Amino acid sequence: MKRVNIEDKKVVGVSFRTKDGDKFVKVNKEAIVSGGAVNSPQILMLSGIGPKDHLREIGIDCIADLPVGKNLQFATGTNATEGVALIKTGLEESEAPDIQIVHFLGEFYPSGPVTSAQSAHVYNDPKFFPLKNYDNTSEERMRKVGFSLFVCLLHPKSIGEVKLRSKDPLDPPIINPNYLDDPYDVKALIEGIRFAKRVTETKAMASFECQFHCMKMPDSTHDEWSDEHLEQVVRHYAQTVYHPTSTCKMGATEDKTAVVDPQLRVLGIQGLRVIDASIMPNVTSGNTNAPAIMIGEKGADLIKIGRQE
């Protein structure tokens, strides 16, 4: 899809590219953008809907000056687990948990599920993950008894952004996740690591003679469990398992940070909705799969209601 065509603040059609060339389809009622937290803002900005200054830089006329692409947030998680815990670190007063212990896997993975590409990963180097009498190759890991705990930050305070690279719809957008920019995110992950360690020290786990092994910074001069050392670990090893959201935020019409209204209609544009995880005001406390499905179901109902009116 190249862009949504808009005339007098109303959607009139959709332009897209095929192997046979550029095509145009007329829109009689409304168009639905459902490209996710990266491609939906990209399509809107290519259509002239987005931050005015950014669109001017790219050379696109601004039709609606909205904070499209802002508020990029990531959640983490997977369904390939045998146990999940949602916890509050207590760093701030909040009713929602801020850490999820995911990947409570019944196998020992120092760097996550093993692929051939990961077999030479730095995580497998004994100086980063030292284990006595243990071969860190993928083949040896698969033969060992153990389990893995992965600490995930649910509500990062570090907020990213999606921007256009150019006017070419085939040019990948610029994605700046801005990971760990806010000190709170690092502190929360450190508390999550300490919680994971306490799990292995419980009476139930003691019966299995559990030994907790955490990534290490080989050249660090700090105590292994000090804030300073754990911050180095977090900043060096932190990964994402994606789940991007919130770049086309839903909000009230007077909300200056919103892109769509509670009916998922793009503010100031007639006949255009965004229906995907990009409309979440904030990332959910955990995996985004089920919420994204429900956004789709609710969006379908809103479309039906709109056609009946």
Residues with a catalytic annotation lie at: 243
Sign of CA dihedral 280, 281, 282, 286: negative
DSSP codes joined into one string, 82-129: S--EEE--SSS--SS--EEEEEEESS--BTBS--GGGTT-GGGSTTTS
- Name the DSSP class of 160: B
Radius of gyration of the chain (CA): 23
Q: What distances in angstroms separate CA 217 from CA 94, 166, 189, 240, one per listed residue?
A: 32, 40, 16, 20
Count of CB atoms within 10 A of residue 186's CB?
Answer: 19
The letter for the amino acid at 114 is: V
The first and second tokens of residue 20, run together, are: 């046979």
Q: Which of 188, 172, 174, 178 is nearest to 73 (CA)?
A: 178
Q: Could you give the CA distance from residue 92 to residue 96 in angstroms, rounded to a whole number? A: 10
Question: Facing residues of 265 across strands?
Answer: 273
The first and second tokens of residue 11, run together, are: 């959607």
CB 246 within 8 A of CB 276: no
